[in-house]
Structures are given as structure tokens and as C-alpha cells.
Structure 1
């Protein structure tokens, strides 16, 4: 070569290779992503074969291929028999004779009868529904549910200041009669022996 491109002296230009920093960065990101996907897939497989882990354990106790429901404390608490419940029957309507008639029927069904008469001024002519079942706080999950089997649609109330175990059945404007005895007996039996409610069902067995 001549002219201005002529090489002079004993030194020659060095041909350098292009740096590969860009390729190394891309390869590193791809490796991290692959490792992340592999770890996520492993966790999914573990979750499938263990049936969901903590959620299944919280829902109930595993037994074979199913989950055995655990009864709630309220379901296992003993309920009093009608003979162990004293009921005051009070009439809050303008119809006469309802309190005595209702008290007589409750007595036939095994309940103890306390006071029979008109409701106090706090409730007299103020109960628009079928009735109110009123008792101390402790009766909410004991006496009141048992008495409620005899009067469909009755409202349940508690009074924290009330003493003793006696409960009131306050007859309201929409009251016609107590629940039919066969229906009341069936409701009592169901209340005494509730069926456990199954929680989450395990699939794939």
C-alpha cells in the first residue's frame, strides 16, 4: 500500500474484539428468570400434593380422603330440657286469655310455668311480631333456643342486668298459636343433636 495508507515502522495496529458485556447481562437476567420459574413450579407441585397445606388444616381434621368437620362449641354445649326451664307467659296484645291458653299448652309440653298475665308497660301493646323471648345473658345459648322451638319467628333478647334463670315469653300482635307439637318436637330433636356442617371438601380422592 502506498500513499497515506502506507505502514511505517515496526508497529502494527491491533485489531480488538468487540466487548460482550451486553450479552453477559442478557444471559444473567435469563438465568435468574429461569431459576425463579423453577422455584415457583416446585412450590405449586408441593401445594397440589399436600392438598393446600394450612387452609385444609384450618377448615377441619383430615381423615383419609375427606375432611372431618369439627363441631362448634355451641353445638356441643348441653342444652336444658323443657322441664328445667321456667317460663313467664305475658300478653302484650289487646286480646284477652292468650297468656293462660299459651301457658297451659307449654305446661303440657313439659315446661315449668312461672307468672302468667299482662306484659309490663315497656312491652304492652308494643310487640308487633309473633312474640319476644326474653331472658338473662346466660340464656342466649341455652334456654332461649329451646323455648324458640315452640314459637316460630319469635325475637330473642337478653338483659344483662336480669337475675336468675327464668325466661319470658311475651306474646305479640301477630301471635296466633304455638308451633304444632310435632313440628316443635322435631325442632327440639334437631337442636339437641345437630348435624355437623362439613367444611371444605377435598377433591381428587
Structure 2
């Protein structure tokens, strides 16, 4: 320079980066972050739809493999008709004529009536409830059920008889039979088919 310009002192001018370069760097970082977020969101959506499709296919396969419950139900055991049940009516109370009246009502309801009279010493004045149904063990399979629907609270007992007839021993709490509608509804509920079990899959 020929000595025209001299640098004196110990202070030197600082070299600063242009401000526009800093802005470019920040803008680049922001763009990269935005692209990263967008890509991550896209992957999440793809995963959701793909997984949902797999689950839907699995559910469809499961439904296809699992047998459908049939609307038909398992048939209930048929109960005997009142006409096929022979009933002996005995009075174990102090009320006179009770067995006769009860037998007449049961006859109206279709039952076959056998003996009518006072209870034996084993049961006379010894039945605190509404009554006792006494018969062979086979009577539990139907005769007790149909006859028991005519009165509430009767106790079922079996003996060694071989015949199918049933003894109805009326107790001190007996007031009246259930209404025919109630008895019919009770028997119908017992003969309604049981629902078929649902598939366990």
C-alpha cells in the first residue's frame, strides 16, 4: 500500500455473518421439522388403517368360523295331561267336606278322581301346610308337577307304591286352589322349551 494506510491501536473490526443467512438456516430447520411431523403422521394413519383392516379381517374370519346360534330351542320334557293323572283326595283337617269339594274342583279341571275321604292316622291333623303330594318315585317326573300347579306350598313325598296314582292330602293352611289361569300358566312355563346354549367362541 506504500504506507498510505496504517492500522493503529489494538481494536480490529468484527466480521459478522449476514443476517439473511441466519434466517435461511432457521427456515431450513423449520421445514425439516415440518416434514418430519408430516411423515410421522402419515405413518400413524397407515398403521391405523392397516391394523383396522387386519382386525376386521380377523373378526370376519372368527365370525365365519364360529357357528351361529340357532333360533330353535331344546325341547322340554312333555308333562302328562290332567286326565291321565288319577288323584286320591284326603282331608287331614277338621273341616268337614273339604276333600269332597276339592275333588269336585279337580274333576272340573280334568283330573281323574279316585278315592275321596279323610286322611290316614299318619297324616290326620298332622299336615300344617297347604298339603302333601304322595306317590311313587316316578310321580316326580310329571304327575307331581301338574297336580302341584293347582296349589302352592304342597310338599312332595314318595312311598313304595307301584301304581301311578297320586294322593293329595289337604293340610290346615289349604284355603283354595290356584285359579285355572294361574295353574295353566305355571304348567305352560314348565313345558316351554329351554333356550339353546349360545356358542362359546
- State the TM bucket, normalised to the shorter chain: 0.5 to 0.7
Distance in 1 (CA, whole Å) between partners of 2:158 and 2:73 is 28
Root-mean-square deviation (CA), in Å?
A: 2.5
**Within the alignment, does 1:88 sit opposite 2:88 as a pair?**
yes
If the length of structure 2 is used for normalisation, what is the TM-score? 0.61
The number of equivalent residue pairs is 139
TM-score by length of 1: 0.60
Consecutive unaligned residues in structure 2, runs of 5 or more: 1-60
Counterpart residue number, 1:111: 111
Query: Is 1:141 aligned with 2:125?
Result: no
Partner Cα distance (1:84, 1:63) in 2: 42
| Structure 1 unmatched ranges of 5 or more | 1-48, 52-61
The residue that corresponds to 1:79 in the other structure is 79
| Structure 1 contact 135–168 (Cα < 8 Å) conserved | yes
Q: Residue by residue, what CA displacement relative to the aligned partner does 1:126-181 show, whole Å, maximum 9, x if unpaired?
A: 1111001111011111211110111111111111x112111011000110001111
Detail structure 1 runs of 4+ shifted over 2 Å in the superposition: 66-72, 188-191, 197-203
Per-residue CA deviation, residues 106-132 of structure 1 (Å, 9 max, x unaligned), is 000000100000001111111111001
CA distance in 2, matches of 1:137, 1:94: 29
**Structure 1 Cα separation of the partners of residues 62 and 164 of structure 2:** 49
Counterparts in 2 of 1:103 and 1:200: CA distance versus 1, 3 Å: same
Whole-angstrom CA distance in 2 between matches of 1:170 and 1:97? 13
1:27-47 Cα offsets, whole Å, 9 max, x none, are xxxxxxxxxxxxxxxxxxxxx
SS in 2 for 1:95: coil
- 1:181 maps to 180
2:192 to 187, 194, 201: 194
